[in-house]
Every structure is written in structure tokens, then in C-alpha cells.
Amino acid sequence: MAQVRFVIPELPPNMPHGVLFLTGDHRKWGNDPAGWTFERSGNRAVLDADLPEGALLGVKVRVSHDEQATEEGDVWGGRTPAHKAVVHGDMEIQLQLEGWQDTRQGRGRPSASAPPREELTLAAPWGEQIVRLWWPEASTPPLPLLIMHDGQNVYDEASTFAGQSWSVVEAAQALADEGHPCLIAALSVNDERSRRYAPFHFEMNDFNSGADEYLDWIADTLKPALAERFGMAPQTALAGSSFGGLVTLYGGLRAPAEFATLGVFSPAIFPADFELLRWMENRPAPQSRVWLDMGDREAASLKGAAEMVALTHDLAARLKPRVREVHVTIGADHWHDEAAWAERFPAFLRWWLEGSPTSRE
């Protein structure tokens, strides 16, 4: 075990009343302050903890009060990314806090990345579905179509879950400037994410998967609506991360004719005891191209992260006999977050557009 000191050098203003404590991946984001309480000295706070050597930490500060907890946030009162660190011996970790989450919920947060060009709403079995669209100016339709999950995190930071986005416009515009334009349709999701994206019944979707319904809607409603507006896309790619990566791979193997290319970022394939691996055994997709990636910090420890990388290579080996091409990328020092996916996205986009049949015509 290593002795780790967490230091908050300066508490932000409007400090809520209550017990200041640390939570994170290492304690499954629990809200019980016991054993993880900071000692305050003026506007400074310190917590000493014993943690395993090689632990990969994602942590946040919370304040417990009235059987509830207020979490640190950004200066606009919205969510903020976790603090990250690798435990290497006795060490000190500085936690710079910007503010607290409050009723503003991030409204007014400026964007460092470009927003979508347009938003439209389509009817869906689960209600109204927001589709966030972007295409390069002066492009001639029809264009290759990229459909992305977690559309609230794809473009500008203002609408994102934790203030980070994939910055897809910047990457797509760079490829368009080189003669490889595309249309991007990003599908926002709500608290039904686990049900809509996990294709197998398990605890997190209350044993009630909605993935087939979601994928059928993409094929039967979204694609025809976009074809009517922009023309029939010469090819369609599907992409997403974590559960979005899982539903991407499942959707591509389930209906290969619908999606020529699959962007499978950091796929969470564990639901139902890795049912995907058994399900895909008799699912050939000989014309499909699969981008498969993983960061080398996507677990609770360095050992666990190495196992995740090994699992990614194993998944690639299982896919290779079933598809046309598998491209594997391992992101060095990449965690399971939007910042990592944003860094890997431009390479995926280039691989897709430059390697597609339409780009070689």
C-alpha cells in the first residue's frame, strides 16, 4: 500500500455546509463520508489515505448534508471531469476545485469546440429524439454518413455531461478541406442510456434491453429521413464509446448492410457475463470495417488496464475472421473519457473516409 495525501489548496466560494469527503472509482462513487473525510484548516483541506500501488484513480470531492451530497463542479455550476492520478508510491495529489454543482447546471458554460450546424427532432418509440447535425459548407450531397451515439457529448462543450466533448467538427472540417467531406448525425440520449445501448438483459438496464428497438429506429426512421433531406448516403458508419461502442459493434454485426464501418471506441462488453462474445460467433459481416480501440488507463489499476488492453486484442482476433478489416489502436495514457475519445477520433475519421470504397473512386 502507498500513503497518498489529497490536498485541496483552496476551497471554492459558496462552500455548502456539511462534511467534506472524497469519492471516486476506488469506492464505487459511494456517498458515505466515513473513512474519507477531509480535515479542514481555514480554506485548505487535507485527507490522508492508504491506497494500492498501481491504482488508477478517478476522484471527486463532495459535501454530505441532510442525507444528500453536493459534488464539486465547474464555475457555471455544472458537472466537471474527475481528477485523475496513478498511484506510484507515497505521493501528494493536489485537487483544484472550481466550484460546486448547483441549480445553474452548467448553463452559460462557454464552448471551446464548434456546435452542430442544426438540430432536428424526430419521433421515436421512446418519445422525441434529438438529432444534432453537421456537414461542411459548400459540400455537394449526398455525403458519407456518420451516425454517433451520446450526441450531447459530440460537438460543443455547452451541452456535454461533464464539460468535455469529442470536438468532431474540427476533425471533420480538416478532412473536408482535404476532399473527404461527411455528414454527421449525433443522437442525444437521456437516463435510458443503459437500456438503449446495452443489447443484452442485465442489472443496469433492469433486464429490459431496448437496443434492437433503437437500432431498428436508426435503420427505419433516421436513415430515410436524412436520405430525403440530403440524398442517399453512399455509405454509413456507426460510432460510439463505452456502451455506445458496444451497441455499435452489436448493430453492425446484427445488420451488416446498414453500416459499412463501425467506430468501436472503448467498448464496454461486460453485460450479461460478456454475452457479446458468444452472440457474435455466428454473426459474419464480411464487408464490414471495424475500428476498435482502448486506452491503457481504462480500469481501476494498471494490472486491470493491461487486462482490458489484452481483452481488446482478443476481441479483435475474434472479429478478424468475420469482417473485412479490423484496425486496433491502443491510446497511451488514455482514460475512459471524452478527452481520450476526442484525441483518437480524428484518426478514426481519416481511416474511415480515406479507406472507404467511395473515397477511392
DSSP conformation letters of 28-53: TT----TT-BPEEETTEEEEEEEE-T
Q: What whole-number percentage of the chain has pLDDT above 90? A: 86
Answer yes or no: is pLDDT of 323 > 80: yes
Using alpha carbons, select from 269, 272, 247 the residue that is nearest to residue 258: 247
The tens digit of pLDDT for each residue in 22-56 reads 999 999 999 999 999 999 999 999 999 999 999 99
Mean pLDDT of the chain: 94
Q: Quick one: 265 and 297 in the same domain? A: yes
CATH number at 295 reads 3.40.50.1820
Answer yes or no: is pLDDT of 358 > 50: no
* Residue pair 255/219 in contact by the 8 Å Cβ criterion: yes
The tens digit of pLDDT for each residue in 244-272 reads 999 999 999 999 999 999 999 999 999 99
Q: What's the pLDDT at 360?
A: 34
Q: Quick one: 311 and 174 in the same domain? A: yes
Average pLDDT over residues 290-319: 98
Q: Quick one: 87 and 145 in the same domain? A: no
- Number of domains comprising the chain: 2
Please indicate, yes or no, if residue 107 is contained in any of the structural domains. no
Please indicate, yes or no, if residue 106 is contained in any of the structural domains. no
Please indicate, yes or no, if residue 123 is contained in any of the structural domains. yes
Q: What's the pLDDT at 66?
A: 83
Q: Quick one: 230 and 354 in the same domain? A: yes
The tens digit of pLDDT for each residue in 77-90 reads 988 999 999 999 99
CATH number at 41 reads 2.60.40.10
Q: What's the pLDDT at 156?
A: 83
The tens digit of pLDDT for each residue in 121-148 reads 999 999 999 999 999 998 999 999 999 9
The tens digit of pLDDT for each residue in 183-231 reads 999 999 988 999 999 999 999 898 999 999 999 999 999 999 999 999 9
Please indicate, yes or no, if residue 56 is contained in any of the structural domains. yes
Q: What's the pLDDT at 54?
A: 97
Q: What's the pLDDT at 222?
A: 98
Please indicate, yes or no, if residue 111 is contained in any of the structural domains. no
Q: What's the pLDDT at 356?
A: 66
Q: What's the pLDDT at 161?
A: 66
Q: What is the pTM of this model?
A: 0.93
Of 100, 127, 151, the residue at which a domain comes to its end is: 100
349 dihedral zone (left: phi>0; alpha: psi -120 to 50; beta): alpha
Three-state secondary structure string covering 172-201? HHHHHHCCCCCEEEEECCCCCHHHHHCCCC
Residue 361: all three cell numbers together: 473512386
- How many Å apart are CA 95 and CA 59, to the nearest integer? 9
The tens digit of pLDDT for each residue in 100-110 reads 999 888 888 88
User: Domain span at residue 55?
Assistant: 2-100
Please indicate, yes or no, if residue 204 is contained in any of the structural domains. yes
Of 39, 71, 100, the residue at which a domain comes to its end is: 100
Please indicate, yes or no, if residue 335 is contained in any of the structural domains. yes
| Residue linked to cell 450531397 | 141
Of 68, 100, 132, the residue at which a domain comes to its end is: 100
Q: What's the pLDDT at 105?
A: 80
Average pLDDT over residues 164-171: 92
Q: What's the pLDDT at 184?
A: 98
